[in-house]
Amino acid sequence: MRDAFIAELVAQAESDDKVVLLVGDLGWSVIEPFAERFPDRFFNAGVAEQNMLGLAAGLASEGCRVFAYSIANFPTFRCAEQLRNDVDHHVLPVTIVAVGGGLAYGNLGYSHHAVQDYGLVRMLPNMLIAAPGDPQEVRACMRYLADSPGPAYLRLGKAGEPSLHAAPPRVSPGEWLTLREGDGSGRSFLCTGTTLAATLRRVEADPLLAGHAVHSLPLWGARHKARQLDQLAAWQAIVSVEDHYADCGFGSWLLEAKNAAGIDTQVTIEALTPPPAHPLSPSLPEGAPTCP
């Protein structure tokens, strides 16, 4: 996915001299094609993500289309105020490029696990979430963002994701893409992001799931719930799949859309769930006093 992103970014920068790339002192072995081709439009802000978002907002306010690249938690939770006040509130053409969604950086620990980012970003009313399921959807999302610049959160996998589409599909906010038709029984999985490949493998390997369709929703956000109504109503049961905590993520967003319209479609969330209490957390002895 990262290679597809940088290839599309370079192609867009060749025809649009307002395209700018910012990094937070990472991305090496990925971002060099842009940095070497457009050194005057490439800035390394260092390990200072809040400053990076402020710089991104400033450049965007002067007409640039800015892409700010970092590991998923760093340009979101660390920069929540700048993201909310500077980028989203002013509807600026800044795309946060978050690499390593979900548990992609699992060996680096919780500081690098992006399992609450949807919950934060989807509360921002002008932010478009772009969560492609394969490299072809990355290219499709990048082309949509070129035609419709605005505040966006592009959530990528880390590396090695297979292409599931033969070519970049046409994408539109809130619109489902069909990867597998199913048998007409009215049951489907609806994925966002890198859960798509694993879901397809699961359906193809499990005879009990053979009748299910599989859809992907790469573009969604606070403004696009209404587009779910007709699509949901066409199915008896939907299972949403995401690499995020169950609370406040994609499935929660889908349920909010369904419940507001009173649709009968059954929606079930499959997501990461909050971990159990840390095994090293201290516990109070029996009978110890507690705070009132």
**Dist. CA 249–CA 242, nearest whole Å:** 8
Domain for residue 106, yes or no?
yes
At residue 230, the pLDDT reads 95
Match 């499935």 to its residue by tokens.
Answer: 251
Q: How many domains does the chain have?
A: 2
Q: Are 253 and 217 in contact (CB under 8 A)?
A: no
At residue 292, the pLDDT reads 41
pLDDT digits (tens, 9 = 90+) for 134-187: 999 999 999 999 999 999 999 999 878 999 999 999 999 999 999 999 999 999
- pLDDT above 90 covers a percentage of the chain that reads 84
CATH no. for residue 112?
A: 3.40.50.970
**Dist. CA 154–CA 138, nearest whole Å:** 9
Query: What global pTM score does this model have?
Result: 0.92
Residues 18 and 133 in one domain: yes
User: Can you tell me the mean pLDDT for 7-25?
Assistant: 97
Nearest to residue 162, comparing CAs of 190, 208, 199, 210? 199
Model confidence at 32: pLDDT above 80: yes
First to last CA, the chain: 51
Model confidence at 275: pLDDT above 60: no
At residue 213, the pLDDT reads 98
Q: Are 290 and 284 in contact (CB under 8 A)?
A: yes
pLDDT digits (tens, 9 = 90+) for 57-91: 999 999 999 999 999 999 999 999 999 999 999 99
Q: What is the token pair recorded at 184? A: 């007409």
At residue 289, the pLDDT reads 44
Residue 48: beta bridge partners? Answer: none
**Dist. CA 119–CA 131, nearest whole Å:** 13
pLDDT digits (tens, 9 = 90+) for 191-232: 999 999 999 999 999 999 999 999 999 999 999 999 999 999
Domain for residue 31, yes or no?
yes
Dmax (CA) for the chain in angstroms is 71
CATH no. for residue 188?
A: 3.40.50.920
Residues 92 and 204 in one domain: no
Residues 146 and 200 in one domain: no
Domain for residue 85, yes or no?
yes
Model confidence at 284: pLDDT above 70: no
Residues 191 and 268 in one domain: yes
Look up the domain containing 76 and give its range. Answer: 2-156
At residue 134, the pLDDT reads 97
Residue 239: beta bridge partners? Answer: 189, 268
User: Can you tell me the mean pLDDT for 283-288?
Assistant: 47
Please, what is the angle between helix 135-147 and helix 2-15, to 10°? 30
